[in-house]
Amino acid sequence: MKVRVAVLDDYNGAAERSADWKRLSDMATVTFFKDHLTDGPQLAARLRDFEVVVIERERTPFRRGLIAALPNLRLLIATGPINWSIDFAYAAERGITVCGTDALQTFTPELTLGLLLALARRIVVEDRFVRAGGWQSGVGSTLKGKVLGLVGLGQVGRMVAQLAKPFGTDVAAWSQNLTREAAAAAGVRWLGKDELLATADFVSLHVVLSDRTRGMIGAAELSRMKPSAFLVNTSRGPLVDETALIAALTERRIAGAALDVFDVEPLSAAHPFRLLDNVIVTPHVGYITDEQCCLFYGQVVENILAYGAGKPIRLLKAA
């Protein structure tokens, strides 16, 4: 009997078209789900009969309750090499194999730079204004001479710094473990957290979500930013206190924000981020390109084939 494979949250069909799923035709049947279920019982009912479930990054968390409701689950595959939304210990207790894929790292820095330019040059604002019949609603600014404050200087943060510096941007960085020496080696200035927030024209987040970093940008941090400053988040939504950010944007205590990640995804239809005119929102596409999808889902197919043949697979780890 063929194993049943569920591919979740394939909103736009990218998973289905990015790999040769026919390679599994002798051993598996594959079902692609285009919608996103947040209701636990509904999701459990949907997945109850599947032996293999493929999840897109952290879009659908697999905690103990959901795993316990899936008696047939044998293989859980997440795209990417790291995932913080899976209960690895309980999956192991249940004898469920959890694996992942490689990921290309250059795409989120590209989107980050695009969002910086969109904020500075008012690209989205002016596009909306022209489409509404207007012409030149305001005046943008240049990145040259502006301070870009990076919260986090890991692989992605360093790439953002490299992309921004040719524009003449003054790049500074801070994180809980960043030293002056490490910042200097990356070609950026080290600043303390408070000084970075107070002086940056753009604050861009590039740290891993953990218990230590969750909510690290809250009301107090936002209050330290200049009224003319912008916040950019292409890392993880819960790094920012969403309620505090909505208040700061609504009251114009900061100039605006560009967000690719959110506490709950997809955003609800009436979410304030959809309504505020000083926010650019993109649907968590920083890491997604055609090239990334081909890598992700090509390796998903390889993982399923390897698992069926009893061969080594790409293991996944928690963030």
List active site positions: 236, 265, 284
Measured on CA atoms in the order 308, 310, 311, 314, is the torsion positive or negative?
A: positive
With residue 245 as reference, give the H or E element that holds it: helix 242-250
Q: What angle do helix axes 107-120 and 155-164 make, rounded to 10 degrees? A: 40
User: Rounded to whole angstroms, how far apart are CA atoms 73 and 97?
Assistant: 9
User: Rounded to whole angstroms, how far apart are CA atoms 143 and 291?
Assistant: 29
Strands (E) across 33-86 are located at: 52-55, 75-78
CB atoms near residue 180 (< 10 Å)? 10
Residue 92 tokens read as 């192991």
User: Rounded to whole angstroms, how far apart are CA atoms 259 and 243?
Assistant: 14
User: Rounded to whole angstroms, how far apart are CA atoms 243 and 19?
Assistant: 39
Taking alpha carbons only, the member of 268, 298, 299 closest to residue 283 is 268
Point out which residues pair with 99 in neighbouring strands: 77, 315
